[in-house]
Structures are given as C-alpha cells and as structure tokens.
Structure 1
C-alpha cells in the first residue's frame, strides 16, 4: 500500500534449521504473523524515499555474524522491534520442538508479565534492591556508578587473587562497604579493600535485585534452554532469549559477562568460567534464596516449597551453573544478532541521518534555511497555543514532562520537558551551544565541524556509555535564533551525514529532532522548553517509552543546576 514498506516474506518464515520438513520448505502454519511487522514509511522533509538495508548489507549480501554491525547495541529502535518479533518466533520454534509434553516436569509457554497491584517505591534506596530501569531513569546508566567502580577495581587490581568469588569476605567489612554504597554512592572508594569483600558485595548486589537480572519473565526460559535444548542449538536459543530481555537488563548482563570473562582469562586466580558459574549462578538466577524479606517474584513463588530440594530444584541448579559457564565462555557471541540477522530486513529511510547535501540547494543553502524557518514557526505556534495535545506525565526534580505520538511511522514518541533556569535566555543559549562540558557528564569530546552561517553549523559530539558498550557519536546540523519577540532564543538540531567526518568505533546515534525554546520569565530567569526525539541505537521502543523522557528531563536539570542561584535582587531580563 502507498506509504508502507513490507518486509520480505522470509521474515515470517522460520529458518530451515527449525523446520522438520525437507530443506527449502518453510513451516508457517503454527506461527501466526506477529502484529506490527509492517512499518509505516512516510518520509519527512520531502526527501526521496529510499530503502536502506542494514549497514552490513551495504557491503555484502553475505554478512558475517562477527561483523560489528550485527551487534545488538548498534541496531535502531525499528530494527530491534523487528528483531524481537523474529526472535520470539525462533525461540518458540526451538522450545516447541524440544518440549517434553508427556513429562509433567516441564511444558514451555511464552512467559507473561507478572501483574503487581502496587508499584514499589525506591526513593529510599540508592544502590541495593533498585532495578536497572530505575537506575537508567536516574542516571542514564542501568548499573550504579559504585557497582561499576567495584567491577573496575577487581578487574584492574585483583585479577591475581586466588579463588575470587569463591572465598568469602569478612561480613563486617562487607556490611561497611554496603553502608558506604547506600549513604554515599557518589563517593565510594575501594582502594585498599579486600578483593574478596568487594566480590561478595557484587554477589549481594545481584542477589538483592527485585528480580533476577534475566527477569522473572525469562529466567525459567534460560534454565529450560540449558536443560532441554541440544548443545548445538543452545547458542541461537540464548541469543533469541537475550534479544527478548528488557534493554537495560541485557546491557547489565553484557557488562557482567564480559567482566567475568576477564576474570576467567586470568589463570593465576584459578577461577575458570565453570568455577565462577558455581559461585555466582545462585545469586544471578535467585536460586536457593530463602529470605523472608525477599521480594523477587521467583522466590515468592517458591517460598512455600522451601526445605529439601527436589529433583526439579537440582536440575535447575545444574542448568543455571552450566548455562552461566557457557554464557561467560561465549559472551562475545551472545550479543550478536542471531539467525534473524541473515534475513534482509528493508527499513524506511527515516532510520538514518540525512546527508547534508540534501538540505543545500545549489550551494546557496535555500532548502536549509527554509527547513529551519519552518521549524521555528511551528515551535512558536505550538508555544503560543500552550502545547495542546501533549500527554503529561510526572517529571523528576521540578520539571514538567509530556509526550505525544508523531504519526510519521517511526515508533518513537516526541518528548517535551520544561523548567525554570536562573539565567537570562542569551546566557542559557550560550551554555547549551558552547559549554556542553559543564552539564553533560558523559561528554568525551565535541567540536564544530563546519560553520555554514553566523547562526548555523555542523556540530559533532561523542558521549560515553557503560563499559563495554560503545560510545555514541552524534553529528547534528543546528541553527539558532536570538532575535525572537521578548528576547526569547531558540535552537534547532537534526542529525546529518557529513562527508568530512568519518565516525570510527562508536555507534551513530540519530537525533530526529531537538529544539530548545528559551523564554524570559522575569528577574533574570528563563523558562526553558526542550523538545527531543532521538534514536540512540540498541534500545527498543519500549525502553524509550519508559526512559527517554526522564533522560531529557535529567539533562535539562543538569543545565539548570549548572547556573548558580540568583539573588532576589538579581538583574531584570530585558523585555
């Protein structure tokens, strides 16, 4: 149909390895088409419609699974959305093929989310017992900094400690470390601490999470893969299950497995992947936990059966140990796109930045200026109408947060956040434009690539991510105005491809739109409204719905807090 791009029929077929029919015969009948396998393909900015394949397919029609472009954390939100649907088909095919229906011990079903009547409140907790999604909303990263710091300390200082994670630490010292994490999470220092104490602290962190890092929804699936699926198919089954994990949990799992792989690689500590798995599997899978205060759904479900372990418990313990050992050993393969990556997924052109040349008409920049002028008019009109039609949601730290669906076919919502800043509009604009290092904690580098006009430029900045995840590169075309009524200022940005800049090593994040409207509010203050929509790569639309608005709000809070509070008799903004 007009304006839509259908996926190749191969996406709906199960891979041949999972069909019991002869090669070349696809098995469709047992698996209905998942909803949403057709993408809207409307094209913004009037550009010609192009069907772009994944980066790997631009170079070869036979991509290698070892290719960096097939890493999960490099896929767009639209790609990841499709990969999750494809992975569910693959996993269902594998699990149904190897199910044991005549044995009551196990029947595989697609897990369902557990419903809770009350959403837990984590305001009184900083580190322990706080789920990854809350950490992302607070800081932008799924692991607390103090836990990342503990991993760095062990990796850099303690790899030679014999029996690390096997030998116990001293309970009183571990409790002191735990107290330090909770009361001063930003000022934790592990220098001089016992490696065994810090290792036990890490085990406690994962054991005290509200649910296993594999999630309550998927933990049993991981255990069943390592109990029932043949070894030669376990890797692709686990790859599919990992893609189905929430993005923040998957990122924590990848960080943890790479960390454990480094420990297992150091022979002097005598801790192989198998030894580490024996010591850590109970904490990661929440096995053998009998604490009455535990809130893990898995533990709550099994609380009434505590006592002597039955055969099912023993089988699960063995599967957890063998599975974790396999995941540590093969950690570099787990976070690659599996069999779905071999399918040619044609995606709409909005998933990629626009070449700068598409904006410029015969070198005069007419299209460029007209595009930004239209953005300015639209934003000022929305502001004058008090942003009607936006859905409000609670914002953190004295911010107003709202969102709306755009309807252009892209799965991501548009987010808007506003707050009062103790500085006049021109000063705030200068802070956003030229002083990013004062408010962006993750900034690694930034520079102006090319000045196109006195108020227009191509700007490149790089932000860090939680190790071992790749950094994110953004190349944006941005234009600003300081001549608006009442002394207001405005900044508009959008991602572009620039022929003078080759991004190496990082992931190209795509800023679909970023707009700052900075209006005077009296007494030398400004009301700042930030509207943003960006694809950071490696995250599904669900992640953006839960997290991205909070990240925009926290970014604006950091800009606000980078200014000292004005005195009551501060300078009046000129109006």
Structure 2
C-alpha cells in the first residue's frame, strides 16, 4: 500500500466533494495549490509588512555551497526530523510518540492542568531512555500523565528545526504579528500548504491531539492555556545554546539575557498563533473554496491520473522501451552524482553508495 494519499486515485476529490483535505489531493493538484498559495501568501505579507522593516521575502538556498548532511544513525526518536522518520519507517511521526499521545488522551478526564504541571525529571529521563533504546517496545501504562506530557514537549523542542521548518517559522510568527484578523486564516492555510508533506502531517496530528485535550473541560486546559505551555517548545523560542542547535537558536546565541521587544512580540505571536491553530485545526488542513474557484478547470484537469508508460516512451527520442529505461537510469545516475539538485547521501548497505531525493 502506498504511503501518501496523493498517489491514490481513489482519494481524488471533485469540486463538489465533501472532503477537501490537503492530503487527499493528487500530487499534481497539490503542486498547483502550492503555487497559488505562494502567490496569495506573498500578496498578504507584502500588504501587511511593517513599512520600516525589510519586506517579506523568501531566502533562496545556496546550492553551490553544499552543507554537510547530518547523520542521525545514533538517534532513534528524539532529534530525528520527520523526513528521516519517513525514510526509516514510512511514517513521519515515530510510533512511540503517537503512543504517548494516545496514552494522554485516555488520561484526559482525570488529570487537571496537563502540560501546565511539571513532571518528575528522573522519571522523564527514564522514559526518554526507553524511547531511544527500545522505541518499538515503549509502554506508557502506569506512567504519570505529567511525565508523558513533558516528554512530548521535549520531543518537539529537540527537533533539529521547528515543525513549521526554519524557512516558514518566521512567516507563521509574522502572520500573527502583522496580518489582520480577517485574513489570518487565509494566510495560515496558505503557509500550511507550503510546508513539506511530512511536517504538515506531524503538525496536523499534534493540533488534532491538542484540540481533543482542550475540549475536555475536566482538564481546565483551554486552547489558550495549552498555547502558553507549548508555544516555546514548538516554535523553538527562548532556547539556549545547550538546549538546541536549530537555526533559530543559533540566531539567538549571544542575545540571551533580558528579552528585547522583538522577543516579546514573537512570544505573544507564537502563543496567540498556536491557540488559534488549535481552535481552528479542522480548517487549516482543508483547501479553501475560493482557491478552488480561482484555479477552476486547471485544478480539475491537473494530471488527475498517472500517465501510461507508453506516453513517456513516445515523447522520448526512442520508441524502444528497454532503451528508454537505460537512458532514464543513466540520466538519474548522472544527476545524483552531481549532488546539487536536492540529492542527499544516506547510510546504506556495505560497499554501496546510497542517495535519496524527495
């Protein structure tokens, strides 16, 4: 069974479909939605960006200077990015973390102030050790809900970059700092579509989970309360050199101490933003109707079905299928050997060079 819904024809929606979840769009439709979302988000951010500040821009990665790809072989759960989890297991969020969320859901009605009250440090460390040494056999039965909640906080704080990605985290914060309330939902929906698939799925799992917690009145934990407790960990705010090596933390080094106005503004935006995302989580991962109407027929005709292999052969120079395969393989090997076009070297079997590209 293929992992992503976008490659399954049975999940293709029509404009009249009741389900317009991002995960249910075909890959070509998602590509179209991302282009439209980028245009929309750019227009909104340029309209609301503060005049005396630098305009909202994307930073273009420098492909010529190839950065060293981190090696996550010594890590199993904590500090492992979602894309590496997908490569290892086909799931962007590790099963033991999903299990932690499930165990907290069962404790909802009994535990007051979950995520607000701290757990016991030694027990949290033992849980963390259990996750790293035997992640497939983790059992949270009998554990304190406060310990498991703190463990979950640590998981998101220890990711190499915020779940919103280094590229988009500041954009999410700026949406809640500068964009009017009337257009915030549109802007956030557009930013969510621009996230990598695996990060978006982890964010969706997290927000749906927090929404369930906020809906249990016995906890006395509203969306706003949860946001106050979790925003610093999820957005990687107020992190020191010891705690994180994320780009946001690197940027903050040397500025630790008394928070300046920018830090205070970011903290408030992160809290308000997370509270809004928890409350409106069902809308965030839906394709808005006005974007569909704007794209109209081009959305519906966007490569809804995979092309037959014969189509590709006919487009090529050769009509011979075997020769077509041979040319394709040689082109692929040539591109991967250059290592510039998004290819990453990954650990492989002995005497084998393995590269992958999403």
Instruction: Please classify the TM superposition score into its range, dividing by the shorter chain length.
Output: 0.7 to 0.9
Residues of 2 paired with 1:342 and 1:385: CA distance?
42
1:290 correspondence with 2:240 = yes
1:178 is aligned, of 128, 146, 150, to 128
Residue number in structure 2 paired with 1:238: 188
Whether 1:55 aligns to 2:13 is yes
Contact persistence 1:145–1:186 (CA under 8 A) = yes
Displaced runs of 4 or more, over 3 A: 111-116, 347-350, 381-388, 392-403
> 1:112·1:217 contact (CA, 8 Å) conserved in 2?
no
1:263–1:304 Cα change, 3 Å: same
2:293 is the counterpart of 1:342 = yes
Displacement of 1:299 = 0.6
Pairing partner for 2:357 from 521, 546, 549: 546
Please give the root-mean-square deviation of Cα atoms over the aligned residues, in Å. Answer: 2.8
Alignment partners' CA distance in 2, 1:214 and 1:384: 38
CA distance in 2, matches of 1:214, 1:349: 27
2:308 is equivalent to residue 389 of structure 1 = no
More relative contact order in 1 or in 2 (CA 8 Å, sep 6+)? Answer: 2
* Residues 479-534 of structure 1: CA deviation (Å, up to 9, x unaligned): xxxxxxxxxxxxxxxxxxxxxxxxxxxxxxxxxxxxxxxxxxxxxxxxxxxxxxxx
Rounded Cα–Cα distance in structure 1 between residues aligned with 2:233 and 2:58? 24
**Contact 2:92–2:199 (CA<8 Å) still a contact in 1?**
yes
* Bigger share in strand: 1
Q: CA deviation at 1:56?
A: 2.5
Q: 1:286 to 1:116 in 2, by over 3 A?
A: farther
Contact 2:347 2:354 (C-alpha < 8 Å) held by counterparts: no
Larger mean CA deviation between 81-90 and 332-341 belongs to 332-341
CA 1:243–1:175: 2 relative to 1, 3 Å: same
> Which piece of structure 1 moves more, 297-306 or 192-201?
297-306
| 1: CA distance, partners of 2:252 / 2:326 | 55
Q: How many residues align?
A: 321
The offset of 1:349, in angstroms, is 7.2
Do the aligned residues in 1 keep the contact of 2:241 with 2:250 (CA within 8 Å)?
no
Unaligned runs of 5+ in 1: 1-53, 355-377, 404-544, 548-575
| Deviation of 1:257 (Å) | 0.1
Q: Distance in 2 between matches of 1:387 and 1:219?
A: 37
Work out the CA distance in 2 between the residues paired with 1:96 and 1:387. 42
For 2:189 and 2:256, how far apart are their aligned partners in 1? 32
Any unmatched runs of 5+ in structure 2? 1-11, 308-319, 337-344
Give the conservation status (yes or no) of the 8 Å contact 1:168–1:200.
yes
Cα distance in structure 2, aligned partners of 1:384 and 1:234:
48
Q: Which residue of 2 aligns with 1:513?
A: none
Measured against aligned partners, the alpha-carbon deviations of 1:396-419 in whole angstroms (never above 9, x if no partner) come to 65498999xxxxxxxxxxxxxxxx
Which residue of 2 is the match for residue 328 of structure 1?
278
Counterpart of 2:58 (choices 110, 115, 119) is: 110
